[in-house]
Structure 1
């Protein structure tokens, strides 16, 4: 399917949903999906308006809060993104995705200890949520807590052995722990899986392996 056809399909879906919403303004589900499709089509202001209307109609609409929060995060408005995810948690405290999102926002703000707390809560709620383990790895790496970073990365790889990001994060965590050969093995696996690795990291790891071989 060509890109033009995809855009045409999106336009058709948008037109259908707009008709439904116009005829039945109380149809919250249709308006929610309209907001998602607007976002997919790059019509961000309209996506925001649609999702905000859903939340206005139903203050329990967690999915709309989460998706609207993602839009504001992408726009750099972390205050609004944080507020929306906190509202979602007020509705459902065990919503692991919202805890991960709050962790990501905190990490983006360099509030790394708070980010770790949010990711930890997420994996306690859903131990199989790989995004939480991946983000927890990077947060621990930022805090130079290398053992915990490796443990989190290994959890992610156990859940999804073919996750390129999990393999790359494990390689980075192992590097900082000084386990360079294992780091190289996981980095090579990440590359095999299509991950675009940081060439500076490749050079740094190569240097450490050369030093180790020379001893």
Structure 2
């Protein structure tokens, strides 16, 4: 064996080891040497092309993989690899052509069909994608990725329910299948469930750093959707302005950093004050997602707790409990409801005070990737802020959630009806609005605002069910129609 051949083999081995270790730049350097010795080495061009693909250098990857099929048109995975890069580069027609040639070379390879299915999906050719997925699964029935791609095609045909079921099958076969999380994220976002959608996208990116995610790669589009959700919330005008102001502060802070200007220290921890049912948890969930999109938080999830979730019954256990909660919330927002209960007992031996001390320390330790929101009644939260010198200085932002007025309560009730496919007749609308108008302003908070409306709605549909349950023949129109007689009695609020 010649010295040059041994050197060539050594560099090829180094390239393979570097590639498998994820050291793609190093792998490219090694394969450069191999190609210098042998400009017709299809294997070297293949691995160098795949390394370029991992680095998102699609043009260089295309050039290398085209060399492979020029050198050897019958190279087993030559056209398959080329098709994948053409698809990733947005050259869908060329990709499908390459996959067709790959099928000619290797008709029993399920990867050919499942990758061609993704190209068909990119061009909205759903039936072709379904057919290719069926072939891939016939060749490899346990293919988790093929099931995930099949789910995407099913979603494209309008069957979200079947798609979610198919994704479940994919994750049964491989709980770490990135494509399954990506597709489920797409379905969730299409259903306006942005919280679960973003969580799935983040999981997909953790499993495969190169997975293509429009929502994460184009955060401005996702931010627009979140702001749209914010604007569509009923009432909460003052809160919406406060949230938009927070967003602008974060944006400008980021712009100043990009311009190498000093960034003013900004505390993102907040106090939400207001009566129950005024949308505090809903806003906290939106803020967690918005902060993620803006790059403030790595995950953007919401963890909800109250006193019971933080305080233990024995010495030394409370700190451990709080640490567990802080770890769970890291990367997102920790929402502490009725936070005043941690200090309201007035007992120096109360473990609630230990929970606060531990929270304050945790806020410092995790300050770059954690936001804490404490919530409760206005007066009680004012006392809470005075209970520990470290609390007030860290919660400089206080947002007041006003009670809903009668018109807003009516809008919430009508939305609940629409969301569940019920329709109020005119008499029912008038009676409901009169019931809400009869509440004095101080009674809005007493009866739970949005929560009270939900109870009112649940009693309404129960009453309608009792009315229809005694009828022999029930039409679809009757199933959706709410009559005035279905509404709760006038003393509903008293019993509430």
The normalised TM-score by structure 2 is: 0.35
Q: 1:106 and 2:92 equivalent? A: no
Alignment of 1:192-207 (within 5 A): 192-193=172-173, 194=175, 195=177, 196-197=180-181, 198-201=184-187
Q: CA deviation at 1:26?
A: 2.5
Residues 92 and 189 of structure 1: is their aligned pair in 2 closer, same or farther, counting only changes over 3 Å? same
2:139 match:
159
Q: CA deviation at 1:44?
A: 3.7
Alignment of 1:79-94 (within 5 A): 79-94=59-74
2:125 paired residue among 133, 142, 145:
145
Q: CA deviation at 1:181?
A: 5.6
Residues 160 and 49 of structure 1: is their aligned pair in 2 closer, same or farther, counting only changes over 3 Å? same
CA contact (8 A) 1:34 1:50 kept: yes
Residue 128 of structure 1 aligns to a residue in which SS? coil
1:38 match:
18
Q: CA deviation at 1:57?
A: 0.9
Q: 1:26 and 2:1 equivalent? A: no
Q: Matches of 1:49 and 1:37 in 2, distance apart?
A: 12
Residues 200 and 181 of structure 1: is their aligned pair in 2 closer, same or farther, counting only changes over 3 Å? closer
The Cα offsets for residues 55-86 of structure 1, whole Å up to 9 and x where unpaired, read as: 11112211111000111112222222111111
2:293 match:
none
Alignment of 1:105-124 (within 5 A): 105-124=85-104
Q: 1:133 and 2:119 equivalent? A: no
Q: Greater share of helix residues, 1 or 2?
A: 1
- Structure 2: 5+ residue runs without aligned partners? 194-419, 422-478, 480-496
Q: Matches of 1:37 and 1:152 in 2, distance apart?
A: 33
The normalised TM-score by structure 1 is: 0.76
CA contact (8 A) 1:130 1:160 kept: yes
How many residues end up aligned between the 2 structures?
188
Q: Matches of 1:74 and 1:123 in 2, distance apart?
A: 24
CA contact (8 A) 2:80 2:102 kept: yes
Runs of 4+ in 1 over 6 A off after TM superposition: none
Q: Greater share of strand residues, 1 or 2?
A: 2
Q: Matches of 2:185 and 2:55 in 1, distance apart?
A: 28
Q: CA deviation at 1:25?
A: 3.7
Residues 185 and 114 of structure 1: is their aligned pair in 2 closer, same or farther, counting only changes over 3 Å? same
CA contact (8 A) 1:96 1:123 kept: no
Residues 189 and 115 of structure 1: is their aligned pair in 2 closer, same or farther, counting only changes over 3 Å? same
Q: Matches of 1:172 and 1:101 in 2, distance apart?
A: 22
- Structure 1: 5+ residue runs without aligned partners? 1-22
Q: CA deviation at 1:165?
A: 0.9
Residues 41 and 176 of structure 1: is their aligned pair in 2 closer, same or farther, counting only changes over 3 Å? closer
After superposition, the CA RMSD in angstroms is 2.7
2:157 match:
177
1:8 match:
none
Q: Matches of 1:191 and 1:102 in 2, distance apart?
A: 28
CA contact (8 A) 1:96 1:121 kept: no
CA contact (8 A) 1:36 1:47 kept: yes
Q: CA deviation at 1:200?
A: 4.1
Kindly name which structure, 1 or 2, has the bigger radius of gyration based on alpha carbons: 2
Q: Matches of 2:159 and 2:115 in 1, distance apart?
A: 21
Q: CA deviation at 1:43?
A: 4.2
